[in-house]
Amino acid sequence: MSTSTVGISALGVHFPSAALPLAELGALRGVDPNKYLSGLGCHEMALCPAGTDVVTLAVEAARRALASWSGSMGDIGLIVVGTETAKDMSRPLSAWVAEELGLSGAVRSYEVKHACYGGTLALRQAVEWQLSGAARGKSALVIAADVALYAPEDSGEPTQGAGAVAMIVGTPDVAAVDVASFPFSQPAFDFWRPVGQAFPSVEGQLSLDCYKLAAASCFADYVAYEQAESTAKQTPSPAEVLNELERVCFHVPFPKMVKKAVAEVGERLGLDEATTAGFYESKVVPTMRINQRVGNCYTASLWISVASALAGMKPGTRVGAFSYGSGFGGELLTLSAGPKAAEGAWMTAAERDLNEREMLDAAAYAALRAAHLKG
Ligand code: COA
């Protein structure tokens, strides 16, 4: 296990003020709602009403993180936004966000793109910027924000969502991010959105296979690394290595995807079915509680799960975080809860967002999409 003196100092999580129960989408599309509810594992999708977009989501998440942090705006030396909801091919989304926050000066500002993996890459870059010494005492503001919409009636439509997570990267008050991480990539066209195309093109089944391959490869590397690092008399088994993680979070395009990926991981590691099922139920399912209520938030999806898992944890408790982005790339990170995790302050505003949302019906959703398509 590698230890780190760098990590997440503060967190902010934000969701838009509208949502659609998946049963309503089933009624609109003439699909048995059980396909969405139990077939995919999705219950509600977060939707942006007029006036809310990826920038407003990112800015509010950032404001929440900054408000709960002991530092000031002058202590930020890097702002980086991971997103696949770019507003421009040249101007980074971080410029819109920095403008709203009044952040300028000796600050590096840029956007990272790699489908749903972009937020994790942004976080890794900020962690490595800290570890390299280049930060010179400053902290980074990392934001993962997206509005995930598919063409109406696309097979991906039931998995839509929207949300943002902001993380200040510096001292590990909320969580330390371990130095070692476990990436895997392979070029593929499983999900892509050409320049000028409003909605993504998806090879749905291929994207499932790519995700499973990335997850199995990253977890196999992690287990081999931990076994090699172990000082115990007997090399720990794969199940024992996984057991060291109290919670294991995944990118959640839809919860069934995660279940399939865990089965693949178990098979690659040689776990029996009961062990894999036990791992999934006890360590993974509890981390997807909020994802089921907001849908796929692309770059923010994994970090919503991590933010919810960390809340209430004792210092030192370990968490796994598997990121996946189409194209495709994956990476497994490990974190340890810090002293501020137990109070889980960031969840108060996030839960309020969820509980105060306007729940749309099928007709209101159809009207919202029609207005969006008109621009
Ligand atoms: N009751 C209960 N379950 C039902 C059902 C019903 N009436 N009808 C179908 N299902 C189940 C299916 O058996 C299937 O479950 P299984 O995979 O465990 O067998 C599940 O619901 C989904 O059905 P499927 O026919 O595979 O859905 P689809 O092809 O319409 O869409 C995706 C699934 C993933 C292809 C689609 O959501 C998509 O394109 N998503 C975007 C891409 C994505 O998220 N990729 C993930 C990696 S990033």
- Residue (of 285, 333, 329, 278) closest to 308 by Cα position: 285
Give me the domain span that covers residue 279.
7-374
pLDDT in tens, 275-286: 999 999 999 999
136's torsion region: left (phi>0), alpha (psi -120 to 50) or beta?
Answer: left
Closest Cα to residue 169, out of 113, 233, 126, 129? 126
Q: Is residue 230 part of a domain?
A: yes
119 within some domain: yes
Q: Verify whether ligand 1 is closer than 6 Å to residue 323 (CB atom).
A: no
| C-alpha–C-alpha distance, residues 8 and 319, integer Å | 13
Q: Whose CA is nearest to atom 38 of ligand 1?
A: 156
Atom of ligand 1 nearest to the CA of 116: 48
pLDDT in tens, 204-215: 999 999 999 999
Q: Whose CA is nearest to atom 22 of ligand 1?
A: 39
pLDDT of 4 reads 84
Q: Is the pLDDT of residue 2 over 60?
A: no
Would 314 be classed as within a structural domain? yes
Tokens, residue 181: 């991480």
SS percent in the chain: helix, strand, coil, step 5: 45, 20, 35
Residue nearest (by alpha carbon) to ligand 1 atom 35: 204
- The whole-model pTM stands at 0.98
- Residue 144 confidence (pLDDT) above 70: yes
Task: State which of 22, 25, 155, 208 you would mutate to test the pocket of ligand 1, scoring each by most atoms of that ligand within 8 A of its C-beta.
Answer: 155
Strands 18-21 and 358-359, by their bridges, are parallel
CA angle 73, 78, 81 (to 5 degrees): 105
Cα–Cα distance between 133 and 145 in angstroms, integer?
Answer: 27
Q: What is the average per-residue pLDDT within 315-330?
A: 98
For residue 118, how many C-alpha atoms fall within 13 Å in the half-sphere facing its CB? 26
Å from CA of 32 to ligand 1 middle: 12
How many domains, the chain?
1
Residue from 25, 36, 40, 201 to probe ligand 1 pocket by mutation (most atoms less than 8 Å from CB)? 40
DSSP string, 245-270: -SEEEE--SSHHHHHHHHHHHHHHHT
Q: pLDDT per residue over 9-50, tens digit each?
A: 999 999 999 999 999 999 999 999 999 999 999 999 999 999
Instruction: Tell me if 6 CB under 6 Å of ligand 1.
Output: no
**What's the mean pLDDT in 118-138?**
98
User: What SS3 class is residue 286?
Assistant: helix
Q: Whose CA is nearest to atom 32 of ligand 1?
A: 204
Ligand 1 centroid to Cα of residue 42, in Å, is: 11
Q: Could you tell me if the CB of 301 is within 6 A of ligand 1?
A: no
* pLDDT value of residue 123: 98
CA of 51 to the centre of ligand 1 (A): 32
Q: Note whether residue 1 is domain-resident.
A: no
Phi, psi of 47 (to 5 degrees): -135, 150
The pLDDT of residue 374: 76
Residue with tokens 């006036």: 51
Share of the chain above pLDDT 90, in %: 98
CATH of the domain at 355: 3.40.47.10
Q: Provide, rounded to the nearest whole percent, the portion of the chain with pLDDT above 70.
A: 99
Provide mean pLDDT across the span 243-268: 98
Q: How confident is the model at residue 373 (pLDDT cuts 50, 70, 90)?
A: confident
How many Å lie between the centroid of ligand 1 and the Cα of residue 293?
Answer: 17
- Find out whether the beta carbon of 276 lies less than 6 Å from any atom of ligand 1: no
Q: Tell me, using a 6 A CB cutoff, whether residue 256 lines ligand 1.
A: yes
Cβ–ligand 1 distance for 43 under 6 Å, the answer: no
**Would you say residue 124 has pLDDT above 90?**
yes
* Helix extents (H) in the chain: 22-29, 33-34, 54-67, 93-101, 118-132, 204-229, 238-243, 255-269, 273-279, 291-294, 299-310, 346-355, 362-374
CA 202 to chain centre: 19
Residue 146 CA to ligand 1 center (angstroms) comes to 22
Determine, yes or no, domain membership for 2. no
pLDDT interval class at 1 (50, 70, 90): low
